[in-house]
Structure 1
């Protein structure tokens, strides 16, 4: 079984490897309800007791599928997200053409709303889509300049002056949720949130990986000091740390085409992995777990076979010298914790 770690402030235990349910919303390609159910059930049987979804994933499809699989199950920690409201749109034809990365037939359009009323509405809507009576963690989804650009100040003001954080505090005080935080692709907005709210957990995607460790200087130490559990998403940086560079074209990094400097750095990592006979994906999966602030690494899984491969990579034995050489060659930050430090 997969080991569990504690998110101290929320007083909940999550598996070191969590189930990211974006693929259950037909991310990039459609899967059937049967495939979605089989994938999540295999993950639960393997010991992944933590499942993360969002209204954005398939415009409600992921939440519906997750709820159908989790109903009447005990011992599963569930997180979803707030900040996007879904509204029926009659102009959407209900086909599976790609919208915002998802090939979902659900005719809903998303609208950003981080206000007090918007947060509470998002929470209630998620309960309805899930068909469940409770949610453990809520993340404010995609706040930050990467999503909103120049409009981010307006949306962040909805969280502070508009009462979004107060709504989350109310839900926690009423024990409707165990905790809340930010779910974003940039650590800087996490720091901003911690200055304004008493967060319990942070979901950071793509910014603390084998490729980049910018969150080491301020964000992760502050979370550790304040006992805020950090969930790492995007451990493969959108795929390049899973596939490597051998295919030559179509390499994905940070939701787009990988730039030459990233490809070159991954190639150096691959060469090091070959020397030690270590799968690149195993190193990418295990590396973030060495940091004491990290509670879990979320992986988007869309087939039972992917679950099996993830279990293998998580357990793959990696020699201590592998990590020491990565550090010595400047392929990871000098102050980045490595598994040999634990």
Structure 2
């Protein structure tokens, strides 16, 4: 598995990263043994970048990922998590989480981007993961919190931890281009994880992001836009950014699939390859729930479309 570096950090990320939201029972329950087998399959396939967050399953994703990586040489993989949501007891407890994770509702999330909150979040993530260090910490969805100054406050706290040697790199994890641009332009963060905005169907502001990043590299997440680009021929009912896809986007995705097919490629293959056409993108983080999904994504990642595909898509006005 090839790697790309994050300049100035000493970190190198495999060009395919493991997104661990599914380990937190995203939408449906995943048995413990399947979660462990999925991480094992990713490791055997050569994936060495793993991303999680307290938000994912109220800490379940962090606990499962840490357990699955235990015993692996710590210097051989890069681990990232996020700050901004503290996990606190829910009073009274609920039967289930009130978000999109199928887990018990004994905890709840509380927005906290303060210096103390960020430090507490990192300490608690270290405990759940069972590791002695976290390589990258992202400010998670500050734009969605409604908290004034959230992004800048948390970034300052993370930079302080980086300067103390607690973290090796810091960034923002968001689907908001404006939030990422703000921190890339105004603070000394090392990277930005951009969800859903460096994709075949949504890339209109990539040049702005790359210009703001300068010599830094971005991390592309949600490259399938919530499912629409994940199958060779999306049909009615497919989702874009986790909502039903509008007819015009469905039609556009199928036109891209036509061009890809003419060049011996598939829509998901092109969708996964597209972010790495930019030298300023370090890796793609993809959610994987089962060993079979790991195998499928690795196969897509290692079967690159011909370079002529991108010119053909531009000629058809399907890429900027």
TM more than 0.5: yes
Answer yes or no: is 1:230 the counterpart of 2:218.
yes
Contact kept, 8 Å, 1:89 with 1:108, in 2: the verdict is: yes
Residue 88 of structure 1 deviates from its aligned partner by 1.4
Contact kept, 8 Å, 1:66 with 1:130, in 2: the verdict is: yes
Q: Deviations over 1:25-47 (max 9, x none)?
A: 01111101110010011101111
Q: 1:53 maps to which residue?
A: 52
CA–CA distance in 2 between the matches of 1:230 and 1:209?
13
Q: 1:189 maps to which residue?
A: 179
Q: 1:306 maps to which residue?
A: 293
Q: Which residue of the other structure, out of 301, 309, 317, is the alignment partner of 1:322? A: 309
Contact kept, 8 Å, 2:234 with 2:250, in 1: the verdict is: no
Q: Structure 1, unaligned stretches of length 5 or more?
A: 334-342
Q: 1:285 maps to which residue?
A: 272
CA–CA distance in 2 between the matches of 1:312 and 1:158?
39
Residue 106 of structure 1 deviates from its aligned partner by 5.5
CA–CA distance in 1 between the matches of 2:193 and 2:59?
20
Q: Deviations over 1:52-78 (max 9, x none)?
A: 000000111000001101223221100
Q: Say which SS state the counterpart of residue 9 (structure 2) adopts.
A: coil
CA–CA distance in 2 between the matches of 1:113 and 1:90?
18
CA–CA distance in 2 between the matches of 1:48 and 1:215?
29
Contact kept, 8 Å, 1:79 with 1:135, in 2: the verdict is: yes
Q: Deviations over 1:221-260 (max 9, x none)?
A: 221x2x22211000000010002554422x1111211112
Q: 2:256 maps to which residue?
A: 269
The runs of 4+ residues in structure 1 deviating greater than 6 Å are: none
Q: Give the TM-score, by structure 1 length.
A: 0.89
Q: 1:11 maps to which residue?
A: 10
Q: 2:319 maps to which residue?
A: 332
Aligned in 2, Cα 1:246/1:176: closer, same or farther, shift over 3 Å? Answer: closer
Give 1:241-280 correspondences, 5 Å limit.
241-249=229-237, 251-280=238-267
Q: 1:339 maps to which residue?
A: none
Contact kept, 8 Å, 1:51 with 1:79, in 2: the verdict is: yes
How many residues align? The count is 318
Q: Which residue of the other structure, out of 204, 209, 233, is the alignment partner of 1:219? A: 209
Aligned-residue RMSD, C-alpha: 1.5
CA–CA distance in 1 between the matches of 2:272 and 2:293?
13
Contact kept, 8 Å, 1:188 with 1:219, in 2: the verdict is: no
Residue 217 of structure 1 deviates from its aligned partner by 2.9
Answer yes or no: is 1:178 the counterpart of 2:140.
no
Contact kept, 8 Å, 1:134 with 1:176, in 2: the verdict is: yes
Q: Deviations over 1:142-200 (max 9, x none)?
A: 012xx24xx35x1xx2444xx43332122101111101010000121111112332001
CA–CA distance in 2 between the matches of 1:261 and 1:14?
35
CA–CA distance in 1 between the matches of 2:99 and 2:232?
25
CA–CA distance in 1 between the matches of 2:305 and 2:185?
38
Q: 1:201 maps to which residue?
A: 191
CA–CA distance in 2 between the matches of 1:217 and 1:322?
20
CA–CA distance in 2 between the matches of 1:140 and 1:328?
38
CA–CA distance in 2 between the matches of 1:159 and 1:298?
22
Q: 1:340 maps to which residue?
A: none
CA–CA distance in 1 between the matches of 2:202 and 2:265?
19
